[in-house]
Structure 1
Amino acid sequence: MAQYIDSFPGREITIAGKKHLYFGGTAYMGLQTDDGFKELFVKNIRKYGTNYGASRKSNIRMSIFGKAEQHLAGLVGAEACATLSSGYLAAQFTAQALNIKTHRFFYAPNTHPALYPAPTKSYTTFTALNIAVREHLSSQPNKTPVIFLDSIDFSGCNFPDFIPLQILPLDKLILVVDDSHGIGIVGEDGGGVYRMLSELPIKELLVCASLGKGFGIQAGGVFGSTERISYMTETPFFGGASPPAPAALATLLEAETIFSEKREKLQSNIALFLDALANPQKLSYMKHHPAFSFSDVQLMEYLEQSDIVLTSFPYPDEDSQLMSRIVLSAQHLEKDILRLAELLNEQRA
């Protein structure tokens, strides 16, 4: 059942006049409600305005975009970066740029619909995907396979080790990875999965991501080689799209200390939660990531009766399976996490 609220949900959420602990959403670092981060954002709004709707190809260009893209590329470990106004747009931008006659698209299990240029279905297993890719290469060797997948697919299939991915003929394909739930959270200094994947023998690697989940700003990014990003930014798609708000990118550049502190607190909260759980193996989770999935409807209802609200709804559409997920954030207090763990231990005893 959908609940409507009137302010951004922090560690607590008020529903029908009653406070609940909130362990949901994607504000992993708790930046959206952090006073220091908000003050920095407001300062940059005063300098850059609330929005910038002009094309990046205009004769008047703001230098903050290039500075932010250079910073992000260095953080991620890529040669180059292009920013857009959202993670969804970044994913569509990438898919459409690669949608040419000499490419053939394949979708790994649980791939986010943002990467689909048109309605399609993903393969249900990596074994089926591997067979299809190798059959394609045998019959159409001049059409490069493009494999799409999510780095954090909440099944633990990909991040952190990407073992199933490695059965594919990586040296013969382009790999496109949506790292929206990883960038800012996992990897060296929150750089996400680009460096990890670049160690594999992949013909070409592209990573796209929302910057809203890990960095708390409304923006998206695409990371890859200088040649590929240069080609993509010369397309009408990029020239016709409004860029992120300059104030958001300026805040990203100036908030490194805040990001570092929040990331450390988040990892501390994850460790506390796992240590307090009697049976952590009964939840599905990934090392160093703050999302814990489960399919027990009764458990969700039990937690709600104890004034704890989680993320739980059919995703990505009404016909999909119910997705229930506990999400820790850097804004949670020790007492919040211990209360949640206590309830889980009681229910699963």
Structure 2
Amino acid sequence: MLHADHLPGRTLLAADGREYLFCSGTGYLGIARNPAFAALLAEGLARYGSNYSSSRNSSLQLRIYEEAESYLARYAGAEAALTVSSGYLAGQMAVKALAQAGRFEYAPGTHPAAWLTDHPGPVAATRTFDEWAQHLLRRLRHETPHPVVLVSNSLDALRVQRYDFSWTKELPTDRAITLLIDDSHGFGLIGREGAGIFTEISAPATVRLVVVSSLGKACGIPGGVVLGDAAFVGSLRRSAFFAASSPVVPAYLYAFLHAQELYQQARQQLAANVQRFADAAPAGLFQGTEGFPVFYTAANELADYLQQREVLISSFPYPAPTDPCITRVVLSALHSPADVERVADLCTAFAKRQVLN
């Protein structure tokens, strides 16, 4: 474990004085260390201050929230959007609002932010996502029709798999069904111009679709968003949960709204980096999915090998300290072509050494 006194960007200067190429974290578009975004944030801070310590339902209404939420809804293809101070809060607000909407069914690996309880019981850990989906459809077809809430991530960001949601077209229409998807690792990256998974879901009109997401990963701002139909989002807006919650710092929403060209440039740079690494990395070492900047490997020894050569990748037990180690190379839009080639070359050397040993 390394210690540092600053947030890493393209590189990390550790407390021991060594500089590492940083290939970890979830800041995929590099926004948190983007100088142009920092300048927009400074404008926002000058206008709104460093924090808004009030309820969104107070007598003062800042227009920036309505502007940002209108934009997010249009961008994602949803009827309405609601911002809150974190992705975790977005997930919890949604599931608490759906607590009486039916029996909860969790897909494998569902993030705890979308759990209704601390320990929701088996989360289909022994099945793949596709196996879970087909088993679910069979059960729904043969059981007495009761309302259900289906909860899933949009993708597996740990072992890097885009989930196929085509099965949602086959959901039954004889009961109330809510599909709640956590798109925290996809929003800003996947879908049309990075708009996420909302418009990629094709389910019967009777199925209510709710998407929650962190804005702190690809978008690089501390906040979260709930996307859905106007009635559901309106009910959240009127809830005590929302009224008692701290809002997103408005300066960040100001920067977000004015940074769309920066986001587009960063997505283009990241896409080029991902393709470059995918083309150059040794066959068989990594598991990845097209266009996603994370590359998983079961060879946990790779992390030590790269760290000895001043490259820091993601490798630690997750989600609990007792869980298996998850080792991944994470690229960002901050990396140069030379950075990507360097990591790929080192991975190739590692793979050849493994073969020889």
TM above 0.5, one fold?
Answer: yes
The reply on whether 1:18 has 2:18 as its aligned counterpart is yes
The answer to whether the 8 Å contact 2:77/2:199 transfers is yes
The answer to whether the 8 Å contact 1:130/1:167 transfers is no
Aligned to 1:332: 335
**Whole-angstrom distance in 2 between the partners of 1:54 and 1:240:** 9
Structure 2 unaligned blocks of 5 or more = 353-357
Give the 3-state SS of the residue equivalent to 1:59 in structure 2: coil
**Whole-angstrom distance in 1 between the partners of 2:144 and 2:57:** 37
Give the 3-state SS of the residue equivalent to 2:82 in structure 1: strand
Give the 3-state SS of the residue equivalent to 1:306 in structure 2: coil
Q: Which one of the candidate residues 112, 134, 152 is aligned to 1:149? A: 152
Aligned to 1:123: 124
The answer to whether the 8 Å contact 1:134/1:169 transfers is no
Aligned to 1:114: 113
Task: Give the drift of 1:315.
Answer: 1.2
Give the percent of matched residue pairs that are identical in Structure 1 and Structure 2: 33
Task: Give the drift of 1:131.
Answer: 3.5
Aligned to 1:207: 211
**Whole-angstrom distance in 1 between the partners of 2:214 and 2:168:** 25
**Whole-angstrom distance in 1 between the partners of 2:213 and 2:248:** 13
Amino acid at match of 2:308: Q
The answer to whether the 8 Å contact 1:133/1:145 transfers is no
Superposition pairs of residues 15-94 of structure 1, within 5 angstroms: 15=14, 16-94=16-94
The answer to whether the 8 Å contact 2:162/2:289 transfers is no
The answer to whether the 8 Å contact 1:37/1:255 transfers is yes
Aligned to 1:6: 5
**Whole-angstrom distance in 2 between the partners of 1:144 and 1:133:** 14
**Whole-angstrom distance in 1 between the partners of 2:136 and 2:310:** 47
Task: Give the drift of 1:223.
Answer: 0.3
**Pair 1:157–1:37, CA change in 2 (3 A):** closer
**Pair 1:342–1:158, CA change in 2 (3 A):** closer
The answer to whether the 8 Å contact 2:95/2:116 transfers is yes
Q: Which one of the candidate residues 210, 215, 221 is aligned to 1:217? A: 221
Task: Give the drift of 1:136.
Answer: 6.1
Task: Give the drift of 1:334.
Answer: 1.1
The reply on whether 1:345 has 2:348 as its aligned counterpart is yes
The answer to whether the 8 Å contact 1:270/1:288 transfers is yes
**Whole-angstrom distance in 1 between the partners of 2:298 and 2:198:** 30
Amino acid at match of 1:103: G
Any runs of at least 4 consecutive aligned residues in structure 1 with deviations exceeding 4 A, and if so which? 136-140, 165-168
**Whole-angstrom distance in 2 between the partners of 1:226 and 1:313:** 40
Aligned to 1:239: 243
> CA-to-partner distance for each residue in 1:130-164, whole Å, 9 max, x for gaps?
545654675452x31111111121345444x435x
Task: Give the drift of 1:185.
Answer: 1.2
Superposition pairs of residues 257-276 of structure 1, within 5 angstroms: 257-276=261-280
Count of residues in correspondence between the two structures: 342
Aligned to 1:295: 298
Superposition pairs of residues 175-190 of structure 1, within 5 angstroms: 175-190=179-194
> CA-to-partner distance for each residue in 1:51-110, whole Å, 9 max, x for gaps?
11211111211111011000000100101000000001001111111001x411111011
Task: Give the drift of 1:169.
Answer: 2.6
Give the 3-state SS of the residue equivalent to 1:21 in structure 2: strand
User: Cα RMSD over matched residues?
Assistant: 1.9
The answer to whether the 8 Å contact 2:23/2:311 transfers is yes
**Pair 1:191–1:103, CA change in 2 (3 A):** same
**Pair 1:330–1:245, CA change in 2 (3 A):** same
**Whole-angstrom distance in 1 between the partners of 2:115 and 2:282:** 40
**Whole-angstrom distance in 1 between the partners of 2:230 and 2:172:** 20
**Pair 1:89–1:170, CA change in 2 (3 A):** farther
> CA-to-partner distance for each residue in 1:214-266, whole Å, 9 max, x for gaps?
11110100001111111121111011111101111111110011111111111
**Pair 1:18–1:47, CA change in 2 (3 A):** same
Structure 1 unaligned blocks of 5 or more = none
> CA-to-partner distance for each residue in 1:31-60, whole Å, 9 max, x for gaps?
111111101101100100111121111121
Superposition pairs of residues 284-323 of structure 1, within 5 angstroms: 284-323=287-326
The answer to whether the 8 Å contact 1:106/1:129 transfers is no
